[in-house]
Chains A and B, each alone.
Chain A
């Protein structure tokens, strides 16, 4: 027990060390970008509606803080709903496809077919179906996240070593046990690959939804700021948006670290 605690602690301290270093480099690159930006504006004298000064962006964010928070909330809800729905449907479908050849033959061609349609092309259809607002955003997000999760889960579940199945059968294991104890854990690394790709795509999906069918969310704010030539606000919202997307991505990555600490990708980078 004590050993386990110690291990946990060392895991955390190793992470903490990593975070300090990461934070330093992030801070440094941020400073460089800001200095270059300020210099660019000062030297070339760009007008504010093309390239506002960094400080103007900060002020704009502060001025519009209430609106930004509220709309960031709307976007987050759309991202989360679409993403979670995609996971909830994609993983079981992937499992069904892997365990049943009939289901594969039935579902795989239409899956690939819908995938070949650009998601944005479907947006007008979604407006007809779901109307103006959250549902359409969620639908676009769902659709854009769904496929990478399905594909990577399938790849993960299929990548089990056939000899391992042989070994398990020679131990008398029923296929349900092989699935739960061998296939599924073995599929997690690949599955997380899909989940991470989808987490980045989810933000794209929600924004797309907001561009075409919404009067709320950060996508909507971006559009209206653009209409008003409020470039400072545009920049501000872009930054808030990328921070949101990063938090989301790192949350998935943290989950991955906790669930599959044994995988090659999670071992110390130093080695």
Chain B
């Protein structure tokens, strides 16, 4: 086997060649309340490269959250296996940061202590991480809010705190389940570019679920479009837009073309009429 062939095939997509997450023939079936089988996910193969920003879009109920929970080891696969860093996921995989649509801040903790929840849940000494927590809060413009309670913050600020909590221990990967879904349009755009800046700087692997096609295009290296019932990967779309990106790329023709392509896929699936 000539070595140069392997070389070229590897260099065509350098990121996915060095896969951090490998989803291999994964299926997930739930048992419903009446004992019936609910196939949430079927025959899913996906490789997510180290440092890649990958978005997942798809109709409601197509198994996006399920997939994320499988990767995090919070659910067991019914078929197939998932490997992170080459090792099979078996039980909760904790070397990651998780963010949800709801910020899940605890009312009884201050902003700082909410970020430090990360330590408390792991049984780590939170004192050692106070400095980094403060630094993170400062980096998202929340300096001076450390001792405030979550209810004193706006929705966008709360989601920033949640992001700081996910980033506290500098995990190599982030799982985000519609993290900006509950924000107003302007705050959302701001959060997107903040997230992009952070990603650009730290080169974390991000698995990002969203319902917004333009959000997916703006942020991602690749977009996985899923179809529903049973949940499956319908198509994977490369987003070849130069980085670093700023909000102006949204007005470019290539951006519009990719958005259009994803929308067509949704139309074909009958999600949009």
Bound together: yes
Partner of A173, one of B96, B100, B108, B122: B122
When each residue 98-137 of chain B gets 1 if its CB lies under 8 Å from chain A and 0 otherwise, what string results?
1010101011100000000110111100000000000000
- Say yes or no: A170 contacts B104, CB within 8 Å: no
CB within 8 Å of B: which of A158-173?
161, 163-164, 166-173
**Across the interface, do A163 and B102 meet the contact criterion of CB distance under 8 Å?**
yes
B153 to chain A, nearest CB (A): 13
Distance from B122 Cβ to chain A, minimum over Cβ atoms (Å): 5
Contact partners of B93 in chain A: CB under 8 A: 170
Name the contact of A172 in the complex, choosing from B69, B104, B122 (C-beta under 8 A). Answer: B122
Q: Is A182 an interface residue (CB 8 A)?
A: yes
Q: Which residues of B contact A185 (CB under 8 A)?
A: 106, 108
Interface size class of B (residues with CB under 8 A): 20 to 34
Stretch at the interface among A191-199, A216-224, A257-265: A257-265
Q: Are B120 and A181 interface neighbours, CB within 8 A?
A: yes
Across-interface contacts of B118 in A (CB, < 8 A): 171
What is the interface residue range for chain A against chain B? 20 to 34
Of all chain A residues, the one with the shortest Cβ separation from B147 is: A3
Which applies to chain A's interface (DSSP): helix, strand, loop or mixed? helix
Establish whether residues A262 and B107, one from each chain, have CB atoms under 8 Å apart when the complex forms. Answer: yes
B92 and A169: CB pair below 8 A? yes
Chain B residue contacts of A64, Cβ below 8 A: none
B74 contact set on A, CB distance < 8 A: 166, 169-170
Question: Is A8 part of the binding interface, using a Cβ–Cβ cutoff of 8 Å?
Answer: no
Cβ-based interface call for A49 (8 A): no
Cross-chain contact B149 with A170 (CB below 8 angstroms): no
* Chain B residue at smallest Cβ distance from A263: B107
B120 touches A170 (CB 8 A): no
Q: Which residues of chain A are within 8 angstroms of B98 by Cβ–Cβ distance?
A: 166-167, 170-171
Question: Do B108 and A262 touch across chains, with their CB atoms under 8 A apart?
Answer: yes
B94 interface residue (CB < 8 Å to A): yes
A177, B149: Cα distance in complex, Å: 22
Residues of B within 8 A of A161 (CB): 102, 104
Beyond the given A166-B69, A264-B107, could you list 4 further A-B residue pairs with CB under 8 A, ordered by the A residue number? A168-B121, A169-B92, A173-B121, A267-B151
7 nearest A-B residue pairs (beta carbon): A171-B121, A172-B94, A173-B121, A262-B108, A170-B98, A262-B107, A163-B100
